[in-house]
Amino acid sequence: MFTTEQIKDAHSKVKSGADFPAYIQDLKKLGVTNYKTFVEDGHTDYYGVNDYKTTSPAKYDKLQVAKNCNGEQFKTDLKAHQQGKTDYPTFCNDCAKSGIEKWVVSINKMTCTYYDKSENEILVELIPQ
């Protein structure tokens, strides 16, 4: 099974949202089937086969995630991030301000789904291959 150190190595290649598809392919090779990233502190739960799970530590001091979601602002911020205009910490701050609590990546479905604090799906994206 994979370790958080292997995942950290794969993530070290990511400089912006433009690098995300290659990162997903690296995780797939490691055996990650899906993961959940929490905006509040940046920790991620990674899942593999046979109920395998490992959790990364918090990546930054806690952010206050807005109670109400602003989906349109989030989509604008996401687009900027995917175009390489913002770094990861900026993207996480933008998510918190827009009320995005977490995102869930399904490597099998090749989707990334963003949720607000009420577990509403705000956006489901197909990950480019």
pLDDT digits (tens, 9 = 90+) for 41-99: 999 999 999 999 999 999 999 999 999 999 999 999 999 988 889 888 999 999 999 99
What is the overall mean pLDDT for the chain? 93
* Cα-based angle 119, 19, 36 (whole degrees, multiple of 5): 25
CB atoms within 10 A of CB 35: 23
pTM of the model: 0.89
Q: What is the pLDDT of residue 16?
A: 67
Cα torsion 78, 85, 93, 37: sign: positive
CA 107 to CA 120: how far, in whole Å?
Answer: 20
Residue with tokens 């490992």: 54
Domains belonging to the chain, first-starting first, are 4-126 (3.30.1810.10)
